[in-house]
Amino acid sequence: MRRMNTDVMLGLGVVLLALLAIFIWVPDDTATGLIVKLRGRVSIGDALAPTAAFVLMVVAGVLIAFEGHGKDDVPHLSLANLRFVGLFAALFLVSVILMRWTGPALVGLVHLLGSTDASYRDLRDTVPWKYAGFVTGGTFLVTMLMSLIERRLSWRALLVGLAVTALLILIFDVPFSDLLLPPNGDV
Amino acid sequence: MTEVLHYIWLGILAVFNGYPLFTLGGIAIPAAPIMVCGGLLTGIAVGATPGLAGPMAMAIALPILISVFGFTPDALLPVFGFLIGIMKGATVGGAVPAILFNMPGTPDSVMTTLDGHPMAKAGQPRRALRIAQLSSVTGDTFSDLVLFVCAPFLAVAVEAYLDLPEKTALLILSISFIAAVMGNSRGKGLLAVALGLATAFVGTGQALTPRLTFGNNDLSSGFSLVSVILGVLIIGEILIGIEGLWQASRLGKKKEDAPHDPAQDDLQPGDIGRIAPYVARSAFIGTIIGALPGIGSTLAATLGYSLGARRHFKRGKPGDTPFGEGAPEGIAATEAANSAVSGANLIPVLSLGIPGNAAAVFLILAADSIGGFNPGPQVFHFTSPQVNPELVTAFGIFTLMSIGNILNWTFGGRFMRAMGVLARIPGPILLPMVLLVTLTAIYVQQTSFFALWVTMGFGVLGYVFRRSNIPVLPFVIAFILARPLEQNAREAFSATGGDPWFLFHSATSIALILAAIASVIFLGRKQAES
């Protein structure tokens, strides 16, 4: 029988974080206290609800630790799980970078070649510029995830990635002038 | 009574005379019934595809629907129509891969595999699918009828008897109940609720300076409902699915492909009479469970199946196929129970504004995005001579649900049987595709990469919850109910002149608070023991 398992650690961690929130974060990051007295009128302040939520979290943490105490086998995050999340986050990060910067980089390149004076912002509503980031970033994400699952890079994964981004352009962008695909709402 | 009939009629008219989709020979074709039909077919297809679920389809469809129909109250019924269609269709469609390939299309159809697949393997797939469809649609229709009758009465009773302190106590009871009954640890249920509440309080409040933002301006309006819900519910699930496939490919596991006998078969004489008592009992169980927020259709299916098995064991005749070996009663008991949850789940949504499952969460999200309809007891104000538009919308929703049932009865089964092919779509293609579609759907609504980061952050949180056995739905429901809870508490506190004991003024609110405490202590203990 193990006294200290992952549930006990989770419970104690939750209690610690909730206490930090109650005594440091909430008082430091709310403009009014638990109760506000203004011109003789008493009302609930902005700190009360979050404090109540974190007090509930303390109770939850104690219960988790109590329920987990003495249990041999509890579900928990393994190192393999964390590695997978890390890998996934890295793919997502690269995909977002491609979405955000491919269009401006291409326009910058064309600018260097002297073909246009316009910025990406000026061209973001025109084809092909407005699709450049979405196609590269979206295709990268789908292709790499498929390759991750299948443990090999394949032309099929690339074609599926391209087909999905093309389909999404047809669904979201072609029929609706008011919808913006990434990154055109940010640039 | 005349007023009620008048509002029912206005609801029907709102569906058939509302937003026109197109004109045919000079006649305007209303959008809402067409959208129910489209949603139903989409839902059946989604339910029939392992790895996809109704809420995913709702998440993807919502921004498209809003773009098509706009942000006016006229858009409400067509948008609700499509979402309700998905909700109904996914419940029916989940049985397809469960029966044909021993792969549950949705979590609540796991029990369907127990008898559905053996029957299909015995060369009667069509019979199994027809029994599943008949039972599912009967359970769903019964549940909807209970909704139509109960929701208005419950809402009127709440408005008549509950004041601000009692409404605050009712919200506390709902959240406590959900925390206690979901998952197998009351501590983890409470943690999910506490995190949901804390997340909802970020960036909100009444002071001019937004609270708990660490000075980040992007958080000054709080986390967006869309990012949080889609992150925790959809992205978290996709992460789990992708990791499962990744690990399966490392271990060299191949998907078990059960033999499929394409022999033509159909309902046998006496099948209807044989399954009727099981369908009736399971429809009742599913409706009761569905009316309680937070208890999912999986429990209803399990309970319906277990009670059906007990009845079959006691009353079965010699020669009857036993449960677990392809009994038609087993398919019927499961499908009627899990489908009866969907209509009843809308009882707390429409009458109290409290969502009970993921599909209900998306209906609230649609109402919140479009505006003009705030689910809750105030909807059922039978005003006269001025018409209450929210009440007309509520009866419009009931009309849409009835249309969905009629379509499900008439051609739902045929479409369902044709969808077996979707179970063959490989997961390695499907999940990355759904991920990109979901992220794109979020971006087109929020037009900011910050929303994608927030969504991904909550997706990872949803993944961690699932891996640590922390239930996700209490988090989402607490997030939705946090602001109404705080608002009600603020108003009740002010209305009682700043009395800190405002929750203990009336017998009703004391009873509700005691029920909240009792639910955590007793229901939670039962869950842990089971």
Q: What are the angstrom distances between the C-alpha of A94 and each of A140, B228, B443? A: 8, 22, 17
**B193 at the A interface (CB within 8 A)?**
yes
Residue of B nearest to A135 (CA): B436
> Please, what sign has the CA dihedral across residues B32, B35, B41, B42?
negative
Q: Do the Cβ atoms of B444 and A172 come within 8 Å?
A: yes
Whether omega before B385 lies within 30 degrees of 0, making that bond cis, reads yes
Q: Which of A164-173, A178-187, B160-169 has the highest mean pLDDT?
A: A164-173
For residue B204, what is the nearest residue in chain A, using CA coordinates? A46
Cα-to-chain-centroid distance, residue A77: 19
Low-confidence ranges of chain B (pLDDT < 50): 257-259, 264, 530
Which ipTM score applies to this complex? 0.93
Residues of chain B numbered 479-508 and touching chain A (CB < 8 Å): 482, 485-486, 489-490, 493-494, 497-498
- Cα A78–Cα A79–Cα A82 angle in degrees, nearest 5: 95
Q: Can you read off the two tokens belonging to residue A124?
A: 């973001």
- Residues on chain B touching A165 (C-beta within 8 angstroms): 436
Do B190 and A63 form a contact (C-beta atoms < 8 A)?
yes
For B22, phi then psi, to 5°, come to -160, 170
The tokens describing A126, both together, are 């025109």
Cα torsion A92, A95, A97, A100: sign: negative
Mutation target among B164, B213, B436 for the A interface, most CBs of A within 10 A: B436
Which of A11-20, A163-172, B489-498 is predicted least confidently? B489-498
One-letter amino acid identity for B202? V
Is the Cβ of B383 closer than 8 Å to some Cβ of chain A?
A: no
Tell me the one-letter amino acid at B35.
M
Say which of B63, B429, B449 has its CB closest to residue A160: B429
- What are the domain boundaries of chain A? 6-68, 79-173
Alpha-carbon distance A114 to nearest alpha carbon in chain B (angstroms): 31
Measure in Å the smallest separation between the Cα of B179 and chain A Cα atoms: 10
Q: How far is B465 from chain A (nearest CA, A)?
A: 9
Selected residue with higher pLDDT from B505 and A160: A160
The enclosing H or E element of B151 equals: helix B125-161
Q: Residue B80 has what pLDDT?
A: 94
Q: For residue A18, which residues of chain B lie inside 8 Å, CB to CB?
A: 194
**Is B448 at the interface with chain A, CB within 8 A?**
yes
A47 or B528, higher pLDDT = A47
CA atoms within 13 A of residue B56's CA, in its CB half-sphere:
27
Contact assessment for residue B265 and residue B123, using Cβ atoms and an 8 Å cutoff: yes
* CA-based nearest residue to B475, from B489, B488, B459: B459
**Minimum-distance CB partner of B447 among A6, A35, A180:** A180
- Is the CB of B194 less than 8 angstroms away from the CB of A44? no
The mean pLDDT of chain B is 85
| CB within 8 Å: B460 and A25 | no
User: Could you report the per-residue pLDDT of A133-149, keeping only the tens digit for each?
Assistant: 999 999 999 999 999 99
Containing H/E element for B28?
strand B27-30
Residue A164 to residue B433, Cβ atoms within 8 A: yes
Local confidence band at A20 (pLDDT 50, 70, 90 cut-offs): very high
Please list, in sequence order, all residues whose beta carbon lies within 8 angstroms of the beta carbon of residue B49, skipping any fewer than 6 positions away. B97, B105, B422, B423, B425, B430
Helix (H, G, I), strand (E, B) or coil at B27: strand
* C-alpha–C-alpha distance, residues A158 and A164, integer Å: 10
CB-based contact, A74 to chain B, within 8 Å: yes
Say if B433 is an interface residue toward chain A (CB within 8 Å).
yes
- Which helix or strand (DSSP H or E) is residue A43 part of? strand A41-44
Residue numbers in A near B242 (CB within 8 A): 88, 145, 148-149
A63-122 pLDDT, tens digit per residue, is 999 888 877 777 778 899 999 999 999 999 999 999 999 999 999 998 888 777 888 888
Q: Which residue has the tokens 């429901």?
A: B477
Q: Can you give the pLDDT at residue A143?
A: 96
Task: Dihedral sign for Cα B145, B146, B152, B153, please.
Answer: positive
